[in-house]
Structure 1
Amino acid sequence: MELSEYLDTVSEQIRCKKARTMVRAELENHVQEQSDAYEADGMTPSEAKREAVRQMGDPIETGTALNRIHRPHLEWKFLILVLMLSALGLALQYMTCYTGLFGGYSGDLADYFWKRQCFFTVAGLAVLAAVYIVDYTVLGRYPLLLWFGYFVVIFIIANTHVVIMGKVRIYNYLTLFLPLYAGVLYRFRTKGYGAVAVCYLFSFMPFFMGLKTIIVHGSLELAGGCFLLLLIAVWKGFFHVRKARTIAALIAAPVITLLLLYWKGTDLGVLHTYQMIRLQSIFGPDMLHYNSNGGIIPYLQESVSSFQMFGSSAAPMPKAMKFLNCDYVVFFVFAKYGIAAGTAMLCILAATAVKAFSISWRQKNRLGFLVGTACSVVLTIQMIVYAAANFGVPLVEPMTIPFLSYGGQSTLVNYILLGLILSVYRNKDIVSERHGTRGKWKIRLERQES
């Protein structure tokens, strides 16, 4: 059988077009390598080629076996966790809207919040399904175009929204910079110290955009996420640099940057005056007593100490804590239903975060690893910061928590991140390093004689 005929027959057995192209090219390379070896043993080129093809085995059996390997996969366990938390989130929204800790909202306002969140959740699941189907490798093929294009979009949004809206909305938009940043890191992989420096500078673009539109700690969360992703890429050896020295230098750089912002932020035109005052308050001598969210921290800290294992333990709330469904869902569960219920909820969230990282870190493809890790980092940071703020931890404020808190844009953005994680898993046996870049594939083929 001729090589082209053999490859056509094998390819016909593989349903996924993307995998079909990848497997065909690798089989052709494998046959050529084997043919060269036979020629070195004294065969003529035509004899060597025919023998190499014969050694590949029956094309239908080979194609069928490769089709079982190289096909899309759905991570059912992760999807089930997502659906469970989506249902839990709607249940909590219903309870915070209609019952709350002391009666909930008025009828019309409760209906407004509840019905809108139902719509947002259904829309979010639809967005998740769409992102799951879409090829995430576009992030690796056009990383700089997507990065700067999205930056322009965010710049326009930042200058058309009023500041009071920007506190939450712009933060949710900015979190999508992290999977885009994964594409940037992938673009500069296998390069040296200059590439690491460029990637470090890229990480500050969403940070400084955030400083102009959202509160300081929200920008620090974004910077921390990008910085962590860069450290992981260096630690995994994606750059041709000395790991220990580079990581040490990267850790020192943001410390110096924060000190400059602390002392010269307004002089450099980077920070607004109110942001500078807040930054100085956070990192000043009274940092443990810092309280910027309406005097709620003392109430939260006192309430935490009185939580019951089961049942309600809530004391009258301050007026600043009115919107439970947005900012204090975790506190609501602990105060209304007890430590056992609240701990169970946090355990499910933690299991989801761990599963997201597990999916990402098992990827052999570096783009899939980076994109999945970026999305996992965003979701985990949101969970940790929100829960910490709900327990009265100083220096942090509740922004949004995946699945549980109210918000249209936050819900849709978080489902985009979840869809990307599922897309990474879906393509784990389909996407190779060659997608979006020049490289080689490796498929191990073994034939056993019966």
Structure 2
Amino acid sequence: MSDKKYDFLDQVKEQIKAIEAKEKISHELNHHINSEKKRLVLTGIEKEEAERIAIKQMGGPVQLGQRLNKLHRPKTDWWLISLLIVTIGLSFLPLMFWNIDLNFYFERKIIASVISVVIITGLMFFDYRKFYKWRWSFYFIGLLVLALLVLFPTTYTNGVPVLRVGPFVIDSTQTLLLFYVGFSALIISSKVSYWKFLLLCSVPIFFFLVVLDPNSIFVFSAMAIALLWFSDVSKKRILLLAVSSLAVIFSAGYLLWGNLDDYQKDRILGYFNPTEYANSSGYMYLQAKELLKAAGWFGQRGEQVFIPTGHTDFVFLSLTYHFGWILGIILFLVLAMLMTRMIYVTFKINDSFGKMLVVGGLSLFSVQFLYSIAMTLGLLPIIGISLPFISYGLTPTIMNSIVFGIVLSVYRRKNIVFKQSITN
């Protein structure tokens, strides 16, 4: 590189504040100068003069650098951040009617919220592209955790194996984060074909079946299909996969029906006909329907009604009953706007890996949000699924915080990361 060109590029880079953009912009400008220099040389101009002309055509280095600095500076999604702040604020409302030691759980909620904010902020400033080279590590660590749950569980919670490491409890749902990042990278790798991707998906599903975690199978499958949909795979293939998967599930359910225990059959039949199973599996469907009907617009704050898992799985039911449908609708709209904003961000990202991370995060959030609401309204079977950020619990809060931190990291670099195709 000649001194003139070096000085020009150096002056341009001095005007650019985003460290991540400096070298990329320098490389692009160098490419344009060299291309124009070659063109001018072919017309008969000397190399040194051709380079001088090519540099001059770029304009003044200070002015050019200032324009590029405005174009490629980091962006902050204040809409998404504002909605997250509102959501975290709303998450304190269940403490007002939950019959508990308020001081103790309020402190724990404060700590969980602070941890959530720290995680989101830290990941927003972290360069998400560094995750790509660790894609296989994320995948195999996820498999390792599932294998340990199968082979060496330290205890069981509701029949599901868990690992206790000091004060921390690890279960199969937490591996979803590892697979989320791993598969977001693997789906764009040229070394991973459509069939290899399906094979890689089948192994975690097998482990989820072994540890008796159908909820994770559902969330994981939704995420995998969403990633495939936004990849280069044919949409016909994806639809065929989705239909085939549903056919396999229903066929397996039909074949296994006779081998199910009575309580398992009751749980299924209770969803389809709750009245006949009012004293067992249909009870919660009927109670939810009655409580939602009795809530009114402004709620029943004076009435103390016990709602099973009212601070976790049925937190939307609890909030709507105690504070009314006005709050229920507001809560739904806030979470729906979070989901809508993530959809908007998806179409603003040029980087293939960044887009997949947003798509994967969107699917993880949307499945939890939509299923939790639909389950409360009796539209879907009852399963153990949390309402993002609103349900009480440190682990689900941390998991969703990681997702949104990564999404904000991608958005922050949407004007810094140039469109690229990762092939290794």
Common topology (TM > 0.5) = yes
Residue 253 of structure 1: aligned partner:
244
Equivalents in 2 of 1:255, 1:10: separation in Å?
56
Deviation sequence 1:140-184 (CA, Å, 0-9, x none)? 333223221332234335643533165896354133122331111
Contact persistence 1:137–1:367 (CA under 8 A): yes
Equivalents in 1 of 2:401, 2:224: separation in Å?
20
Residue 62 of structure 1: aligned partner:
64
Contact persistence 2:40–2:50 (CA under 8 A): yes
Asked whether 1:41 is paired with 2:29, we answer no
- Runs of 5+ unmatched residues, structure 1: 98-103, 267-272, 439-450
Residues matched between the structures, number: 408
Equivalents in 2 of 1:309, 1:207: separation in Å?
42
**Shift in Å at residue 419 of structure 1?**
0.3
- Runs of 5+ unmatched residues, structure 2: 163-169
Asked whether 1:229 is paired with 2:220, we answer no
Contact persistence 1:216–1:279 (CA under 8 A): no
Equivalents in 2 of 1:20, 1:86: separation in Å?
36
Contact persistence 1:124–1:411 (CA under 8 A): yes
- Amino acid paired to 2:273: H
Contact persistence 2:154–2:161 (CA under 8 A): no
Equivalents in 2 of 1:361, 1:275: separation in Å?
47
Contact persistence 2:215–2:385 (CA under 8 A): no
Q: Secondary structure at the match of 2:391?
A: coil
Q: CA RMSD in A?
A: 3.1
**Shift in Å at residue 431 of structure 1?**
1.7
Equivalents in 1 of 2:97, 2:354: separation in Å?
38
Report matched runs for 1:427-442 at 5 Å: 427-434=413-420
TM-score normalised according to structure 2 size:
0.86
Q: Which stretch shows the higher mean deviation, 421-430 or 273-282?
A: 273-282
Asked whether 1:144 is paired with 2:136, we answer yes
**Shift in Å at residue 346 of structure 1?**
0.8
Deviation sequence 1:69-94 (CA, Å, 0-9, x none)? 2221111111111111111112x132
Equivalents in 1 of 2:252, 2:52: separation in Å?
69
Residue 28 of structure 2: aligned partner:
26
Residue 272 of structure 2: aligned partner:
288
Deviation sequence 1:398-435 (CA, Å, 0-9, x none)? 41111111111111111000101100111111123459
Report matched runs for 1:102-251 at 5 Å: 104-105=99-100, 107=101, 110-156=102-148, 159-164=152-157, 166=160, 170=171, 172-176=173-177, 177-188=179-190, 195-233=193-231, 238-239=232-233, 243-251=234-242
Contact persistence 2:142–2:175 (CA under 8 A): no
- Amino acid paired to 2:244: A
Q: Which stretch shows the higher mean deviation, 150-159 or 139-148?
A: 150-159
Equivalents in 1 of 2:222, 2:299: separation in Å?
37
Instruction: Quickly say closer, same or farther: Cα 1:427–1:95, change in 2 above 3 A.
Output: same
The percent of aligned pairs where both chains have the same amino acid is: 20
Asked whether 1:82 is paired with 2:94, we answer no
Q: Secondary structure at the match of 1:163?
A: strand
- Amino acid paired to 1:206: P
Equivalents in 1 of 2:78, 2:22: separation in Å?
25
Asked whether 1:262 is paired with 2:260, we answer no
Match of 1:13 among 4, 15, 20: 15
Asked whether 1:412 is paired with 2:398, we answer yes
Q: Secondary structure at the match of 1:182?
A: helix
Instruction: Quickly say closer, same or farther: Cα 1:367–1:293, change in 2 above 3 A.
Output: farther
Match of 1:303 among 291, 298, 301: 291
Match of 1:345 among 328, 331, 335: 331
